[in-house]
Amino acid sequence: MDWNETRTIYLEKMEKASALLDRTIALCHKTPKEVPDETKRELKKLRPLVKRQEEKLKANQFEVAVLGLEKAGKSTLLNAWLGVEILPAMDERCTYTSCEIWSAPTENNQCYVIEYYSPKEFEKELAEKRRLIKELPKGFSERGDIEKDVQEIETYYDQIQSFLREGQYERKFSDVDEVREDLKQAIATNKAQARAIKRIVLKTIKLRADRDIIFHDVPGFNSPLKLHKTLAEDKLRRCDAILYAKQHNQPDLVDSELNMLQIADEEDPHIRVAGKIFIALTRIDNAESRQRLDERIEKARIKWADVPENRIVPVSPPARLHQLGTGGADIMRDGKKIVQDLEDMHVSDGIDELKKIVFDYIDTDRAQVLERRCKGLLSDADKYVSKVIESLLPHYPDNPKESEQARDDEEFNVFTNWWKDKWRSIQEDFAIYYTSEIMPKDHVDAPAQEHERLRQFQIAFNQLADRFAEDTLNYPDEKFEIRYRTLGLTEEGIVHPQNAHIRLREELHQKALDELNKISSDLAKALEEVIHEMGHWVFDHLWKIEKIRDGLLESSTRLHERVEHGMSTLFLRFARPAVNLFLFSPRGLRGHYIETYHSDIILFSEYYRGENAQHKHLKTFLETGAWNSGITEPTGHYLDVIDHELGKPTVTSANLDEIRTEIREDLNSLNDYLKNSI
C-alpha cells in the first residue's frame, strides 16, 4: 500500500480506538476498585499516544524535528536544505524559539506568522525560572545561565510586554530577502521579541519540491533553559522523523542526548529511534585530513550502531550555500576556503545525499513505519480494554437494567461531588495545622519556626557527632604512640613515620565507617514522634477509621526501620565521602580523593553553616591543613614522597607529634563539618 491508502485505512481505525479508550477510561472511573491500578496507568499512558496519532493522520503532514546540541549547526543545515540562508546562524545561541517551515503552493502564499505568548503564560514561565534559581546551588553552570536569562528578561521587560499584547503577527512576502532580517531579529537578535515568541511558522516555496514535509527548527536540547528543553521534547513527541545534527569531531553521546533518545522511544514505543533518525555529521570541512574524517565517520557509525549506515551522512552546509551564492556575509567570505578544503579531501558537501535518503524514506518506508506504529497502538488498545473487561466480568456477570445503571451513575456522581469538596476542606485544614503546629510563623513574612522535636533532633545529632569524634576515634596520647610504633615498625626494627601515619589513618578510617552505621538508628528516633503526631491528626480527621490508622501509623518496629533506612541512606551518602576526605590519607597524598570528590567538596563548602567563615575553604584545608585560602604552601617539616598517580612530589608529616597534631586537626574538622554541613 502507498502512503495515502495506508493513511486512510488507519485513520478510521485510530478514530474508533480513540473513542473506545475514552469509554473504557470513563468506565474505570465508575468502577475504581475492580480494575487493577496497573491497567488504569497503562490506559492513561496509551490514550495520548493514540490521540496524537489520530490527529497527525487527519493533518496528513510529515513532520521532521531538526535536533542537536547547541551550536551543532541545525539552522545552517536547514538553510542548505532550502538552498538559501533564511534562518540565523551565529556564534552565540541563535535559536531562542521553535520555528516551523511549511511549503507554500505559490509565491503569493508566502508569509510568516509569529504567535506570541499570552501575558499569563509568560509570567508562569518567568516564575518557574526564578524558582529554579533559588533551588539550584551556587556555582552550578545551569544556575548561572538561568540567572543571566532572567536578568535579560528583566532588562527588556517593558519591551517584552509590548510584544505579548500583540497576540499574533503575520507578514506576506514575495522573496525571502524581504524578510530575512525580520526573521533574524525575531528568532535571535532582538532579545525582547525572541523571548515573547511562542511559535513561528514560515511558509515558503523553497520547500515546495520537498513533498509534504514540515521542518521544526528547535533550540538545542542541552540548553539550560527549561523552555528550550520543553520545546525539544514536544517536537520529539510529535515527529515522524528526526534530522539530527551532530558535529563529526564529537561522536560520543552526552547525557542530554541519551535523555533525548529515551524520550523519543517512550513516546513512540513501536518505532525505535534508530528506525526514523537521520544523522547529519556537520562541520566536516574542519577535519584535519581525509583520513581523520573517515576515522570520525567510522566512530560515529559505531556509536549509532542501530542506525543504518546510509543514514549517517557527513555534510558541510556552508559549502552548499556558498556554491549557490545564497549564503550570508560570513559564508560568502569564508565559503571559498571551505569548498577548497572539501575538494582537497575529495568529498562533497553531502546535502544532495542527505535529501535523497530522506526522500527515499518518505516515498517507500514511511507507509510501512506508519502501519507498524498503528498496528502496535491498536494491539495495545485491544490488550488493555480486554483486561478491563476481564476485571469487571466477575463483578458484573449480567447486563444490569438501564434504570439500575442510571441510578448507580447518579449515586456515584453525588458521592464524587461530595468527596471532592470534603477532601479539599481536609487538605486546607491540614495546611493550617502544619503551618501553625509543625512549622509555625510569628507573622506571614516571618521565617518558619522549627517544631520543638525537630530542634531536639539537631541537638541529638550534634551530641552523636561529638561522641563519634571523641569516644570512638581519639586515642589517648600513650595509646596513640603505641599504635604509631606498632603500625610503623619495619623489618629492620625501626619506625617508618610515613608508614605509621598511613596505617594509623587506615585504622581510624575503618573504625569511623563502622561507627557511622550506628548513628542512623539514634537519629531516626528523633523523627518518629513528629511522624506519629501528624499521623494521629489525619486519623482523627478521617473519622478515626482503623484501616487509615494502620496504614499511616505502622508498628513501631516497622516505622523505625523505614525511618532508619531513610536516614541511613541520606546521612551516609554525604558522611562517607567526608570521612574519606578527612581521614583516609595524610595531607599531601589526597590528590586522588580531592579530585574524585570534587563535587562533594563544593557542596560541603556551600552548605557549611558554622560560625567561622574561613572554614568554607575546605579544599585548601584538605591540601595544606590551613583554612586561609591565601596559603598555598604547607609549613613545617616534611618528607618528600613520589605520588605515583599524579606523578608529582607530595609531602606528609615526618614525626609523631606532627602526625598526632595533623590527625586531631582532621578529626576536629570532620566533627565540625558533620554538625554544620553534613
Residue 312, φ and ψ in degrees, nearest 5: -110, 105
182: nearest Cα among 208, 160, 209, 202: 202
| Among 368, 319, 369, residue whose Cα is nearest residue 344 | 319
Report, in angstroms and rounded to the nearest whole number, the Rg of the chain calculated over CA atoms: 33
pTM score above 0.75: no
Res 5: pLDDT: 87
Confidence label for 323 from pLDDT (cuts 50, 70 and 90): very high
| Paired residues of 243 in beta bridges | 66, 278
Residue from 18, 41, 66 nearest 221 by CA: 66
pLDDT at position 644 is 39
Interatomic CA distance for residues 536 and 549, integer angstroms:
8
The residue-averaged pLDDT of 434-457 equals 66
Q: What would the pLDDT profile of 120-172 be if each residue is shown by its tens digit?
A: 989 988 898 888 888 877 777 678 878 888 898 999 999 999 999 988 999 99
Q: Which of 267, 207, 224, 223 is nearest to 242 (CA)?
A: 267
pLDDT of residue 400: 53
Most confident of 24-28, 362-366, 440-444, 562-566: 24-28
Query: What pLDDT score was predicted for residue 19?
Result: 92
User: Where does the pLDDT of residue 616 fall: very low under 50, low under 70, confident under 90, or very high at 90 and above?
Assistant: confident
* Average pLDDT of span 180-194: 84
What is the predicted pLDDT for the residue at 403? Answer: 53
The pLDDT score that the predictor gives to residue 635 is 41
Question: d(Cα 162, Cα 172) in Å, to the nearest integer?
Answer: 22
For 277, what's the count of Cα atoms within 13 Å in the CB-facing half-sphere? Answer: 26
The pLDDT value given to residue 354: 93
Q: Which three cell numbers stand for residue 395?
A: 463483578
pLDDT in tens, 61-97: 788 888 888 778 888 898 899 888 888 765 444 446 6
| DSSP helix/strand/coil, 651 | strand
Strand partners, 104: none
Give the whole-angstrom CA distance, residue 353 versus residue 331: 21
| Cα dihedral 656→660→663→665 (10° resolution) | -130
Predicted confidence band at 195 (pLDDT cuts at 50, 70, 90)?
Answer: confident
- On the question of pLDDT at 313 being above 90, the answer is yes
Q: Which residues, 6+ apart, have CB-to-CB distance to 277 below 8 Å?
A: 241, 242, 244, 304, 307, 311
Confidence of residue 640 (pLDDT cuts 50, 70, 90): very low
The answer to whether residue 399 scores a pLDDT higher than 70 is no
Quick check: 472 pLDDT over 60? no
* Residue predicted with more confidence, 124 or 407: 124
Give residue 451's pLDDT band: very low, low, confident or very high (50, 70, 90).
low
pLDDT of residue 650: 46
- Is the pLDDT confidence value at 256 over 80? no
C-alpha count within 13 angstroms, C-beta hemisphere, residue 636: 18
Place of cell 516551523: 100
659 pLDDT more than 70: yes
pLDDT band at 655 (very low <50, low <70, confident <90, very high): confident
Q: What is the mean pLDDT of residues 644-673?
A: 73
Does 447 have pLDDT greater than 70? no
pLDDT score for 294: 93
pLDDT digits (tens, 9 = 90+) for 11-64: 999 999 999 999 999 988 888 788 889 999 999 989 988 998 888 888 887 888
Cell of 170: 503575520
Instruction: Name residue 678's amino acid.
Output: I
| Residue 126 CB burial class (10 angstroms; 0-12, 13-18, ≥19) | middle
Mean pLDDT, residues 623-636 taken together: 63
Residues in the chain: 678
pLDDT in tens, 546-605: 777 777 766 666 777 777 778 778 778 888 898 888 888 898 888 888 888 888 888 888
Residue of 638, 492, 650, 494 whose CA lies nearest to 585: 650
- What is the SS3 assignment for 99? strand
**Which pLDDT does position 339 carry in this prediction?**
92
Find, among 388, 67, 460, the residue nearest to 236 by Cα: 67
Q: What is the model's pLDDT at position 636? A: 41
Backbone angles phi, psi at 280, to 5 degrees: -100, 110
Q: Which residue has the higher pLDDT, 114 or 556?
A: 114
Cα 166 to the chain's mean position, in Å? 33
Q: What is the Cα–Cα distance from 611 to 632, expressed in whole angstroms? A: 23
* pLDDT at residue 181, rounded to an integer: 84
Angle formed at CA 271 by CA 60 and CA 281, multiple of 5 degrees: 90
Strands 99-103 and 648-653: unpaired
pLDDT by residue (tens digit) across 499-545? Answer: 888 888 888 888 888 777 777 666 777 677 777 778 888 888 888 88
For position 318, what pLDDT does the model report? 94
Is 245 strand, coil or helix? strand
Question: Can you say whether the dihedral through the CA atoms of 312, 318, 322, 328 is positive or negative?
Answer: positive
**SS3 helix, strand, coil % of the chain, rounded to 5?**
65, 10, 25
pLDDT band at residue 482 using 50, 70 and 90 as cut-offs: confident
Closest CA to 310 of 273, 283, 277: 277
Amino acid in the structure at residue 614: Q
Taking the C-alpha atoms of residue 611 and residue 17, their distance in angstroms, rounded to an integer, is 65
Name the percent of the chain lying above pLDDT 70.
83
3-state secondary structure of 552: helix
Per-residue pLDDT band at 279 (split at 50, 70, 90): very high
Q: How many of the other CB atoms lie within 10 Å of CB of 623? A: 18
User: Quick check: 126 and 195 in contact, CB under 8 A?
Assistant: no
Q: What is the DSSP letter of 495?
A: B
| Biggest distance spanned by C-alpha atoms of the chain | 101
- The answer to whether residues 180 and 326 touch, using CB atoms and an 8 Å cutoff, is no
